[in-house]
Every structure is written in C-alpha cells, then in structure tokens.
Structure 1
Amino acid sequence: MRYMMSYDLMETVRNANQWLGATALSMASYPANAALPNPMLSWMAAWGQVTERSFERMVTKPDWGIPATTLPDGKDHLVEVDTIVEKPFGDLIHFRVTDRAEQPRKVLVVAPMSGHYATLLRSMVKSLIENCEVYVTDWHNARDIPVSAGKFDVEDYTLYLVEFMRELGPDTHVVAVCQPAPLTLAATAYLAEIDPKAQPSSLTLIGGPVDPGATPTDVTDFGRRVTMGQLEQTMIQRVGFKYKGVGRKVYPGLLQLASFMSMNMDRHSKAFSEQIMRVCRGEATDHDAHNRFYDEYLAVMDMPAEFYLSTVERVFKQREIAQNAFTVQGHKIDIGKITDVAVKTVEGSKDDISAPGQCIAALDLCTGLPDSKKASHVEPGAGHYGIFAGRSWRNNIRPLVIDFMDANARQPVRKQPKKTAAK
C-alpha cells in the first residue's frame, strides 16, 4: 500500500488535466460565445483541445494503423494482426497480408520494453511488410497484468525471446531495436548452446547498449551514478486500484514520460505552444506532424519493477553482457558459442542514447563467429530514432539490412520475376 497513493495521485493529476482541457474546449466553444469577438476564447479552445488530447493519449494504447499495403501487383492488400504465441507479459504477433503468397523472408522484430508500446516501430514494420513476413514482440502494459502472473525480469525476457525464436524456426531473421539488443544477443547464444537447430539465420542489432561503458552518455552516467536503493525508492510504485495489476510493483509510464520530456523540455514546450497557435488559426489537423508524433510519444506503459531494476543493475552497472558473464536460471551464457548466425550492428553517429561503440561491441563478443559473418554500419547524421523510424532507416539502413538477410539466409530468397511488356 505504501506506493499506491503515489501511483493514484499521478493518475488523478493526469485525469484532472484531461478534464480541464475538455472543460476549456467546451466552454470556449459554446455557440453563444461566438458573438463575442475575443481572441482569448479562440486561444482557450485551442489550449483545451491540445491539452485534452495530450493527457488522454497517456493511457491509451496506440493502434498499429496499418490497414492495408500496396504490393508490386498494384493492388491494396489488407493487413491483419494475428497472435501466434500468447503469454502474460507479451505476445508474438504476425502481420498477415491477405491474398498474398507467404514470403520466404521471415523477420522477427524485437521491440523494446522501455516505456513505449511496440507501435513505436510502426514505420519499420510498414517498410518490412512489403516483401517480408513480419513478426513482432508485443509487450503488455504491466499495470494490466495481475500479480498472480508472477515476476518478469531480464532472465524472463530472454527466455521469452528464446521461445519466440523456437516458434518461428531457423530460417528467421531477427532485428532487435535499442534496449533488447543485448538480451537478444544473449538469447541467441543460449539457443546456440541448448538448441543449435533453432538458431535464427541472422541477427541485426540496432542502436542497443550491448556495452554501455564503451561510449558513456547521459543515460549510462545516470545508471552508474544512482544506487539501486535510490532507484527503488524514487522510481518504483505499486499499481493503484483502477487497473487489473493492482499491487504490482512497476516503474510507472507517467513517471517515465516525465523523465523523457525533462531531457528536452524547451523543445517540447515550443512544440506544444506552436501547436496551440496552429489550432487557433485553423491550420492543425487530426493527423498533422505534431499529432502523429505526440500521439505515439505520449502513449506510455508501466514497466515491471523487476525488469527495470535488473536491467539497470545487470546490463548497465555490472555490464554482464559486455563481460560475457550473463546467466539465465543459473546457466552461464557464452556469447562465443554463436558460430553460425550472421550478426550485423547498426548505429547512428549522433545517437545520444546508445552512442556509437555501444552496439558494435557485440561483434567483439562473438569470438566464435568468422569475420565473414560480421558486419556493421554507422549512419552519418542519424540520431537514436532516425536509425529505425526516420529517413535514414527508409533510404539507407533498410536496404542494407535486407541485403544482409538475403546474403545469410539459410534458404535462398526466391526473387520475384520481373514483368515484361506484352508485345
């Protein structure tokens, strides 16, 4: 009960701000007020609209928003999301394109469990659907998971990945984005020891902290500076009475969001101020650039306390992955056992979260892998989000990743025959 009051207080503040926004919008938009030529009313309505939308999004899971995709046949094909493996803390989902033959290139995208939903990788998924069978790890919001489901830490996360890889088979290409990169590497090494035939064909690690000490950033400095006791006292709370996970210890999404925004408060304040003025002038739309970004950015999820604390302690502080000393259920994983899975790392030269050097460290850990199966790429001018969700991903990184998959496929990828003009 000690932290339930704090959790419910945050939810109360969020709910109150959403209500204030809705109230301001309703009052300022009252038809009778239109007779008063007061620009303050227009500004008040705009403020209310932006405020209500922003605080409402904080507790709403975004939709994937991929209703259809256009294929080389010139037709729009519906995209349906199927659940392949259902587990308490996360599911394995498949983006099935209707009326299309199964694609030989099978890709498992490992989404981060770091405050945002897997939908953060929407643009990556959309770009891969065109010519791949795409599977994604869809992690659940910890506030909705009953305490009876048990704990979930970095070892459980690793075992989830092992199960998902086994389910998909050895012809799978795994792409891990950001936070799960070191644990995905460990899961692959674990399979190399206990079930070599289930290993994926290739492993692409994008902007992940495999060795956080290789190139220190504000994130890694914070992890070293703060003690585990301080983190547990200041960051961990129990889910309040409103949700199914009542009593579960979590790192609340609203608290994470406050940390995210505090890192760039000036930029966020300016973005919201400009959006309010655009609404005033009638220039904003439901899906403009501001709303597209913040509808996703503001949608946060609670993280299991065990996972957050064990990630900080074992991945960042003790650097167990970087020192090849990671254990799962008492079994020491040797990353050097990876001998048959091609590994590629992708980094952004301006990444201020996982700086260049942290991810490429994975290649040095793969001592049993020949150089011919190792590759790396540093994208010039790209930040953390750009390497998996921006122009750099679409134009430069995605083609390199696809070529890497094809070059290391266990079964050759069948090329689609080119259409020839009828005589």
Structure 2
Amino acid sequence: MRYMMTYDLMESARNANQWLGATAQSFASYPAFAMIPNPTLNWMAAWGRVTERSFQRMVAKPDWGIRTVTCEDGKDHVVEVQTVVEKPFGDLIYFKVPGRDIQQRKVLLVAPMSGHYATLLRSTVASLLPDCELYVTDWHNARDIPVSCGKFDVEDYTLYLMDFMRHLGPDTHVIAVCQPAPLALAATAYLAEQDPDAQPLTMTLIGGPIDPDATPTEVTDFGRRVTMGHLEETAIQRVGFKYKGVGRMVYPGLLQLTSFMSMNADRHSEAFSNQIRREMRGEASDHDAHNRFYDEYLAVMDMTAEFYLSTVERVFKNGEIAKNEFIVDGHKVDTGKITNVAVMTVEGANDDISAPGQCVAALALCSGLPDSMKAQHLEPGAGHYGIFAGRSWRDNIRPLVLQFMNKNNTKRSQRRRQPGSAAQNAANRNAAAV
C-alpha cells in the first residue's frame, strides 16, 4: 500500500462520493419535479445533502468557532487566536481575550495527534477560557508538510512539548488529553533533569495510555496482536501529488476514519439514516446536533508514518513509558526525577479507549513525588469523550481540575520541598509507589 497511487485512489473515492452526493441533490431538487411530488425524489435530495456534506468535511480543517467569551465582568469579550510559536509539525496558539484582566492560571492544553485536529477539543477550550490564559498545541496535517522538513516521531513530539513548556515558563499548568499524556509525562521528567526551572506547576493527565497493559482494551489488544511489519505494509501510504507533502510516508486520516467508523458501524449507520429522514422532513440544519458532531468527527488529518509506528511500538507494544525506559534524543528519561510538579490523573469508568487503570499508573511512576502533590479522579458513567468534552467534564471534572490548579498555583520557590535525608526520601518514594 506504500504508493502514491494508493493514496490518490483513496482520495479519488472520497471525491467521487462527494460528487455523487452533489449530483443526487441537484437532480432531485430540479424545480420541475415539484409538479409531481414523489417521496423517492425527496429521499434522493436528502441523501445527496447528507452525503456531500459528509465527504466534503473529510478534507476540511474545522474552524475553532469561538468568537466571544463571557468574563467575570459580565461582558462578552472577543477571542483572538494567535500563533506564538511556529514549527513545521505544529504550532503553539494562544486564545487572547482583549479587555479583560490577566487570569492567574496559565494553561497549556496538549491536544492529541491521533487522526483529528486540535479543534476536537473545542468545547474543552470554550469551558476553560473564562478562567484561564489558554494555550493549545495545534498539530499540522502531515500531508501538507514537505518531505524536506524531515521526520517527526514520538521523540520529536516530546521535544516539541518541552520547547512549548520552556516558552510558557514555570508558572504553567499542563493538561494533556488522551494520546499525549505519556509523552507529556516524559517531557516533564526530561525537564526535571535537564532544565528544572522550566517545569510546569501542575500536570493533569486525562484518559491517557500511560500503562496500556494495566487494563487491556480492544485498542491495546490490537497493538499487541499486530506485527510492526504487517502494520507498516497495510497502514502506511505515500502522500499523493495533490498536496505539499507529496511523497511523505503517512498513516492517512481517511484510513483511520474507516477503522473508527467500523468500530461502531451500527451506531453511525443509524445516525446517518436518522439525519436523512430529518432532511426529508425539513428538520435538519447546519448546526443541529448531528452536523455539529460529524463535522468534527469526519475531519481527519494524516499522521507521519514514523510517529504512528513509533507510538504503537514504543508506547503500546514495548511499554517504554510504563517501564520507565523511554529514551529521548539519546537520553533515558526517568519519571522518578519529577519531584516538584503536582500531578493529577482523570479517568472515565466507561472508557473503552483508555480504560481505568491505564492513566492512574502515572502516579506510581512519579516515585519521587510526595503523595500530597498527587491526585486522581475516576468519573462514574463517563466514556472517553465525556471526560474532556462532555457533561461529565463540564459539571464534575473541570471544577476539580481548576481546584487542583488553585491548590498548586504558587511560586515554585514557595512550595519547593526542603531536602531531607536519604532515608526520608526513600520513605517518600515507597509511600508514593503504594
């Protein structure tokens, strides 16, 4: 499958389906047909509208769509999205809110690079904006990055996070959602050894696979079952001639979307059938619940082949983070060196992607951190999406995360632990590992 022709064939199929939807809608909406009302034509027009929109969204990067935010003064303030650090594979963006007082909490929200754009965290961003100075990692679509920019794997991702943390300074609170949780942990541990003054104040890890083997899921079983050679042969393709990244080896977003959809095929099929019926009855709109969800869900991006393969091999198969054997830029990262960054983990009881037990493993890995600087929360009845963007996040988890930040939102010099004896340090490590 590692040929440009395969990539272009998949894009051609998407393009053809978008064209079929547009053609069906145009044909069935011909004005003369209004003289002979026919439910079949009504259904065809509705099917065409839903189909064209769905396949069109697969190659469009969604907009953040956050125009204003209501602040403590009761006024709506305009939100400006600014790029503060620009890199080939991802930028650090800042959601500036002019006209309001600077918020005490400076937050770095680390978005996952797992096939969707950072805008997947739109509701998370909107919920944090009123209370935080918010920065977000905005990863680029690999198909748009020229081959001349080089590679990008899990080590490069970790180094990017370190650069972003250095830029923001030590008064930062880091929130890592899902996939980047283990790499955010590694980046913080690396800074603890190499540049301790650049460490963040707190780190909140939400639904991340720190130890994938702690609670196996369908995702971890797949990672164990498939061989790297088979995965490289069947999942990796070269970007076609249409994009700037022509020739780059990637894991295509369209291919990942196919696997996403197949995992819950019945549910997605029912959702689209219901949407077609709503279109027929004139009840659908551009911003109804179905379109709001699928406009984001269907917008996928390519990942570099080396990032995808190294994630599967090093995080899931070899468990390098869980075993504290992760190496970045030739240096072995030791999470036990984290002694001055408060760490919180959040898990969903019904999470079938990163099941309970996988993320909380981070606390045991931080063996040099006192228990007073650790926290964990298991949200009852919440699935993977709900713990960072759903009602569970808004009503229960977000207040706990802000409270955790407030508790540790002091100058590092004021909360730095006094050095104790070797026996005391050993006791702390043993207590943290329990």
TM-score normalised per structure 1? 0.97
Alpha-carbon shift at residue 411 of structure 1 (Å): 3.9
Looking at structure 2, the residues matched to 9 and 295 of structure 1 have their Cα atoms a distance apart, in angstroms, of 23
* 1:354-373 CA-partner distances (Å, limit 9, x unpaired): 00000000000000000000
1:207 equivalent in alignment to 2:207:
yes
One-letter identity of the residue aligned with 1:396: N
**What does residue 347 of structure 1 align with?**
347
**What does residue 128 of structure 1 align with?**
128
**What does residue 313 of structure 2 align with?**
313
Extract structure 1 runs of 4+ deviating beyond 2 A. none
* 1:377-397 CA-partner distances (Å, limit 9, x unpaired): 000000000000100000000
Looking at structure 2, the residues matched to 37 and 386 of structure 1 have their Cα atoms a distance apart, in angstroms, of 43
Looking at structure 1, the residues matched to 283 and 322 of structure 2 have their Cα atoms a distance apart, in angstroms, of 50
**What does residue 417 of structure 1 align with?**
none
Alpha-carbon shift at residue 410 of structure 1 (Å): 2.5
Looking at structure 2, the residues matched to 166 and 2 of structure 1 have their Cα atoms a distance apart, in angstroms, of 37
**What does residue 107 of structure 1 align with?**
107
1:293 equivalent in alignment to 2:293:
yes
Counterparts of 1:10-409 in structure 2 under 5 Å?
Answer: 10-409=10-409
SS at match of 1:103: coil
Looking at structure 2, the residues matched to 411 and 400 of structure 1 have their Cα atoms a distance apart, in angstroms, of 21
Looking at structure 1, the residues matched to 70 and 310 of structure 2 have their Cα atoms a distance apart, in angstroms, of 42
One-letter identity of the residue aligned with 1:3: Y
One-letter identity of the residue aligned with 1:22: A
Looking at structure 1, the residues matched to 74 and 372 of structure 2 have their Cα atoms a distance apart, in angstroms, of 38
SS at match of 1:185: helix
Looking at structure 2, the residues matched to 222 and 410 of structure 1 have their Cα atoms a distance apart, in angstroms, of 43
Give unpaired runs (5+ residues) of structure 1: 413-423
* 1:331-373 CA-partner distances (Å, limit 9, x unpaired): 0000000000000000000000000000000000000000000
Alpha carbons 2:26, 2:45 under 8 Å: kept:
yes
SS at match of 2:233: helix
Alpha-carbon shift at residue 72 of structure 1 (Å): 2.1
One-letter identity of the residue aligned with 2:132: C
One-letter identity of the residue aligned with 2:221: D
Looking at structure 2, the residues matched to 133 and 311 of structure 1 have their Cα atoms a distance apart, in angstroms, of 30
Alpha-carbon shift at residue 409 of structure 1 (Å): 1.2
SS at match of 1:241: coil
**What does residue 421 of structure 1 align with?**
none
Alpha-carbon shift at residue 104 of structure 1 (Å): 1.4
Looking at structure 2, the residues matched to 123 and 169 of structure 1 have their Cα atoms a distance apart, in angstroms, of 26
Matched positions, count: 412
SS at match of 2:79: strand
Alpha carbons 2:71, 2:100 under 8 Å: kept:
no
Alpha-carbon shift at residue 2 of structure 1 (Å): 4.8
Looking at structure 1, the residues matched to 140 and 111 of structure 2 have their Cα atoms a distance apart, in angstroms, of 11
One-letter identity of the residue aligned with 2:295: D
Alpha carbons 2:62, 2:119 under 8 Å: kept:
yes
Looking at structure 2, the residues matched to 54 and 8 of structure 1 have their Cα atoms a distance apart, in angstroms, of 19
One-letter identity of the residue aligned with 2:291: N
**What does residue 418 of structure 2 align with?**
none
Looking at structure 1, the residues matched to 350 and 63 of structure 2 have their Cα atoms a distance apart, in angstroms, of 30
RMSD: 0.9
* 1:56-112 CA-partner distances (Å, limit 9, x unpaired): 000000000001111121211000000010000000000001111221110000000
SS at match of 1:130: helix
Alpha-carbon shift at residue 329 of structure 1 (Å): 1.2
